[in-house]
Amino acid sequence: MKILQSNKFLLDFMIFIGNNVVVMKKTNRFIWLSIVLTLIVTGPVSAHRLPGDLSETCDPVLQKGLEKCLISLNLKKATNHKSLSIVLVDITDPASPRMAYINPNEMMYAASLPKIAILLGAFERISNGEMSLDPQTRETMARMIRNSSNRAASEILNRVGKAYLADLLQSPRYRLYDPKKNGGLWVGKEYSKAGAWKRDPLHNLSHGATGLQVARFYFMLQTGRLVAPELSRQMKSILANPAIEHKFVKGLKSIHPDSRIYRKSGTWKQYHSDSAIIEHDGRRYIAVALAKNHRGGKWLSDLIVAMDDLIFKSAPSDLPNNSFHHNTAF
């Protein structure tokens, strides 16, 4: 135990296993045991590599299926014109995520979706003892996320600090806004009539996002690497129970009303976005879509139905559909 306690990376990995690995075949259990024993021997460098970040390597089966979905939904033209960005990641096995995407680094105005970045900033402050997670503050954050309250978002943003949040999103630890990847999550304005204090450096957007960086946010959240494992769990609970039932939620409720959805969307004029971790029937995946079209809300409702079907139909045969454990996953 002293060896484990002296190795933060190893502890994080053990928590990751506890939250994501379920009862597997005996061979799989031996594989996980071997990995843990290797980490004990080799130390923090090896441990730091597990679990990895999302790469931009597509799963060929999932990618082909996503492209077929776009054709069947008559959305191919929208992606060709870069008015639609999509990222889909099967994280049922978080050690081997399966990814597909269209225009993943296309940065768009994302309206309320970047409120997830404010949530991250608040929890960073909480972890440093600079804010408290009291019931009232938690309720304010829940209203910011679930009800998309602009007043709550502006209140939390000002408590976190605008410059602090901008630095955090660009920090080497997170890189959720990365100039090398055409930007990402950005909050350069309160959610009010006040003017922007700092638009993003690449596209001059006040509230922006790319599909890839939003997907990375959710992947780090699920694997316990936003702030700390326990605080990631708390953040995910705030993303649960969305109060606005449109776009992804509307589509999913029409086919799987028992789905667990951890989500944040955004809407302003012709800009529509949605993002979520979705769990049902033993599978877990991340879906992100950003659209620039007045019909974008309908696009996203239809798209999530097709992507949900794709996740199950393309599942690897060696990873059964009941392979994650609802009680231990956060």
Residue whose structure tokens are 């809407």: 267
**Rounded to an integer, what is the distance from CA 73 to the centroid of its chain?**
24
Q: Are 110 and 209 in contact (CB under 8 A)?
A: yes
pTM, rounded to two decimals: 0.84
Q: What are phi and psi of 192, to 5 degrees?
A: -155, -175
For the stretch 27-66, pLDDT in tens is: 344 434 444 443 333 333 333 333 568 888 899 999 999 9
For the stretch 92-135, pLDDT in tens is: 999 999 999 999 999 999 999 999 999 999 999 999 999 999 99
For the stretch 151-194, pLDDT in tens is: 999 999 999 999 999 999 999 999 999 999 999 999 999 999 99
Q: Is the pLDDT of residue 320 over 90?
A: no
Query: d(Cα 95, Cα 222) in Å, to the nearest integer?
Result: 11
How much is the mean pLDDT over the chain?
A: 86
For the stretch 227-286, pLDDT in tens is: 999 999 999 999 999 999 999 999 999 999 999 999 999 999 999 999 999 999 999 999
